[in-house]
Amino acid sequence: MGAAGRDFHNFNLCFRDNPDYDVAAFTAAQIPFIHNRVYPRELAGPFYPKGIPIYPEEELSNLIKKWEVDEVVFAYSDVSHEYVMHRASLINSLGAGFSLLGAEATMLKSSKPVISVCAVRTGCGKSGVTRRVCAILKKMDLKAVVIRHPMPYRDLISQRAQRFTSLDDLKECTIEEREEFEPLIEAGITVYAGVDYNDVLREAEKKADIIVWDGGNNDLPFITPVLEIVVLDPHRPGHELLYYPGEVNFRRAHCLVINKVDTAGNEDIQIVLKNIKDVNPDATVIRSASHITIDDGNAIKGKKVLVIEDGPTLTHGGMLYGAGTIAARQYGAGKIVDPKPHAVGLIKDALDHYPMVKNLIPAVGYAPEQINDLEETVNNTPCDVVVIATPVDLRGIIKIKRPTVRVKYEVKETGRPDLKDAIEKFMGKTFWR
């Protein structure tokens, strides 16, 4: 059971060359347009000459009955513990076992030291932390490359092992891919990603002194780290103990970054600190702000604005707002316009599916149809200014007919210890053993 990422990785490491198992199918959830595909024979290995079919998760019960399945492996992220156990109960009721593979069994070993940056929920700010870590390593005269959690939403064979060094390399990418890759590339960082992470890792090792794993959602690293940095979000206090596999990251972390302390309430920060004390008291704790900048704050003062936020943060990440909403309030927007009455097609479907998302648009764009509907929805919505708060500059992807401003955000530590302290501590302890 997966969402085009962890599921393929777990298969590659634990099942592809294992004659004791016969993998009947993958199921797909969370991400649109990824089911009704085949995991191709070129990736599936010699035991699967026809490849492996991928079905919507809604067909799970029928698949278990049809093939008399013995075991179902759960392999996707950012879901509540309750959600996981509902799936486990369904599967067990049909006579099959339910499995969660352990962290060590699903991590590759690297010849280079690895720092991982993961989180307890989608939207905590791990990408900003990744960029900050890379900047610190650069000042140490270390060649760092980033290996990014998979987003294989297109042709799986062509995405087997990818390397991104310039914006030109992103022409075929979805919005979700560009959101993750573009800020790193603009910072001069080479990014590797793909489907077969053994191949990805070996390519990255050729170019790196040190590797930074940039996690997706709240998933675990695919490569064994010597330093595990995990980001927490005090806007969602307690979630570090309520979501899978975020709680696993929380418990494993060497270093915990409490991000967004500049916009979170003190009571919420204290809840997070108490949970750290109860669950992982030995971790180094760092506080950081998600520093928001806007290219022209005066442009939105007193104006009717349409806010476009990062898609995954608002959808399965469960956030009600993001940096764009915060920026609109900070810079005195007169009104944040509700786009829902003007939404069309797949964007309307997304807003209907996530009714908690109000007065903003999540920038989803997994396929050309979604991108087209996003463009039409934005241009349909009456406003004075469009506030773009996505990691990628949407103005290079869709044509926006109204004035725009772009919001950016960078992680900045607010005291000591900071990320440099944490990295130096672990470099002295373990990096070069």
Q: Per 3-state DSSP, what percentage of the chain is helix, strand, and coil (rounded to 5)?
A: 35, 20, 40
All CATH 3.40.50.300 domain ranges of the chain, comma separated, are: 106-291+412-431
pTM of the model: 0.90
DSSP state of 234: T
Q: Cα(368)–Cα(377) distance, rounded to whole angstroms?
A: 14
Q: Cα(295)–Cα(305) distance, rounded to whole angstroms?
A: 15
Structure tokens at 322: 């993001």
Range 6-101 has CATH code 1.10.1740:
no
Predicted confidence at residue 433, as pLDDT, reads: 43
Structure tokens at 220: 């675990």
Strand, helix or coil for residue 203 = helix
Q: Is the peptide bond preceding residue 382 cis, with omega within 30 degrees of 0?
A: no
Of 3, 178, 159, the residue nearest 74 (C-alpha): 3
Residues 6+ apart with CB under 8 A from 18: none
Predicted confidence at residue 429, as pLDDT, reads: 60
What's at 103, amino acid-wise?
A: A
Structure tokens at 34: 């990824």
CA distances from 358 to 308, 350, 380, 393 (A): 11, 12, 17, 22
Predicted confidence at residue 64, as pLDDT, reads: 98
Strand, helix or coil for residue 294 = strand
- Give per-10-residue mean pLDDT for the chain (433 aa): 95 97 94 79 97 96 97 97 98 98 96 97 94 95 96 90 94 85 94 98 96 96 97 97 98 98 96 98 96 89 94 75 90 95 92 88 81 94 95 89 92 95 82 48
Structure tokens at 359: 């007065």
The fold of the 106-291+412-431 domain, in CATH, is Rossmann fold (3.40.50)
Of 384, 379, 412, 415, the residue nearest 394 (C-alpha): 379
Predicted confidence at residue 392, as pLDDT, reads: 82
DSSP state of 263: T
Q: Cα(71)–Cα(97) distance, rounded to whole angstroms?
A: 5
Of 256, 225, 226, the residue nearest 241 (C-alpha): 256
Structure tokens at 345: 């097609």
Confirm if 2 and 26 have CB atoms less than 8 A apart: yes
Which stretches of 213-254 are DSSP H helices?
Answer: 246-252
For every residue of 74-112, DSSP letters joined together read ----SEEHHHHHHHHHHHHHTT-EEE---TGGG-B--SS
**Partner residues linked to 231 by β-bridges:** 119, 257
Give me the phi and psi of 157, to 5 degrees please.
-65, -45
Structure tokens at 129: 């932390």
Predicted confidence at residue 235, as pLDDT, reads: 94
Structure tokens at 84: 């996981």
Give the alpha-carbon dihedral of 50, 56, 61, 67, to 10 degrees: 0
Q: Is the peptide bond preceding residue 245 cis, with omega within 30 degrees of 0?
A: yes
CA distances from 256 to 126, 175, 414 (A): 11, 29, 14
Rg (CA), the chain: 21
Confirm if 229 and 130 have CB atoms less than 8 A apart: no
Over the range 343-374, which residues count as b (16 or more CB within 10 Å of their CB) and which as e? beebbbebbeeeeebebbbbbbbbbeebbbbb
> Is residue 198 exposed (0-12), middle (13-18) or buried (19+ Cβ within 10 Å)?
middle
